[in-house]
Amino acid sequence: MNDRPSIRLLPKSKPQAIRHGFPWVYFNELVMDRRTKGIEPGSLAVLEDADRQPMGLVAVNPASKITGRMLDGDPEAQIDAAWFEARLARALAHRERLYDAPFYRLVHAEADGLPGVVIDRFGDAAVIQPNAAWAETRLDLLVEALVAVTGVTTVVKSAAGRTRSLEGLDDADAVLRGDATGPIPVPMNGATYMADLTGGQKTGLFYDQRDNHAAVARLSRGARVLDMFSHVGGFALAALANGATHAVAVDGSAAALDLAQAGAEASGTADRFETRQGDAFDTLEALAAEGAVFDVVVCDPPAFAPAKAAREAGLRAYERIARLAAPLVAEGGYLTLCSCSHAADLSSFRNASARGIGKGGRRGQIVRTGFAAPDHPLLPQLAESGYLKALTFRL
């Protein structure tokens, strides 16, 4: 398209990475002249190498460190309804092979060819996180395509993504289609979860832990379970649905625990379920002082290391969690420790966890290493898309 601006890589930049699938172009890799800086955030441009050879079509945001996001290898591609529908249909085909019911992550950003876009589906409803300027400016088009491809009748915009502020975007949530009043029951791993699409965390439910929930549930038959940072009862409800004798869910949010309790009642397991509100570190210390012991303990904290600058402090926090949790595990019991910090790689997280367990006076063997469920595909060129790690130790 002759009317599209172009942005050009600096001679020192390495175009091979982009040609081989890396989806981002950083500001320090580009000729950031006045013309490039003046491009409106969310606009489309042709990316050129240092020799002015076109490499593809990118979405541009000069205000972001990620100045270019690769949308299409064809520099003349039309980002219209048909383009969105094709991407969404491809994503949907994968999820429909995985799951019998329409409850899953439908779009996992760059890995599904929609940079910065997250879409979680809850039956006839969907929650969109447009975490990049190009998607925000084309939100109407995206919603139309989503409705056309999936048939959902309710669409909610969640502006809770941390990266929205880095893109210069607002934090205003909105119901874009239909009615989103009341929590939605979500069947998963034999349990029923209650997802609040408008008032909950992120999109209302963490589908990425689905397979890890199932793995812990298999270890929980006949077990006493402690689910720290439980949100709406993630690990606890799955464990109870699969034979745990009792489960305690701990979270700092009363609203999340109310949803967890409602989920236990909907699952028919409320008689074996209890909640405890409080700070996780304080609660772990209190439980130790009470002499509490559990057969299965799970700690699934928020991202302690969301960026490289927080990596070392984050790893110390993961170590502390492991140190406090390990003494609560019965002999021969299981401790599952999770990290959703992409800045803390698997090896570093594993070492921090093992140090914490040792400092807690325990020793253990790793019996499982888990990752995000397959509706959260990993783009091999982008390490950040493989953020979730779950380690299960037998102590």
Is there a contact between 58 and 41 (Cβ–Cβ < 8 Å)? Answer: no
Is there a contact between 283 and 227 (Cβ–Cβ < 8 Å)? Answer: no
In terms of C-beta density within 10 A (0-12 exposed, 13-18 middle, 19 or more buried), how is residue 11 classed? exposed
| Short-list 231, 161, 163, 146, CA closest to 195 | 231
Enumerate the active-site residues. Answer: 340
DSSP 40: P
The single-letter code of the amino acid at 160 is: A
CA distances from 45 to 76, 113, 300, 338 (A): 10, 17, 40, 39
Q: Determine phi and psi for 44, rounding to 5 degrees.
A: -100, 145
- Pairwise CA distance, residues 196 & 186, whole Å: 10
3-state secondary structure 238-291: HHHHCCCCEEEEEECCHHHHHHHHHHHHHHCCHHHEEEEECCHHHHHHHHHHCC
- Pairwise CA distance, residues 220 & 239, whole Å: 6
Q: Is 32 helix (H, G, I), strand (E, B) or coil?
A: coil
Is there a contact between 242 and 223 (Cβ–Cβ < 8 Å)? Answer: no
Give the DSSP letter string of 275-338. EEES-HHHHHHHHHHTT--EEEEEE----S-SSGGGHHHHHHHHHHHHHHHGGGEEEEEEEEEE
Q: Is 72 helix (H, G, I), strand (E, B) or coil?
A: strand
Residue 365 forms beta bridges with which residues? Answer: 394
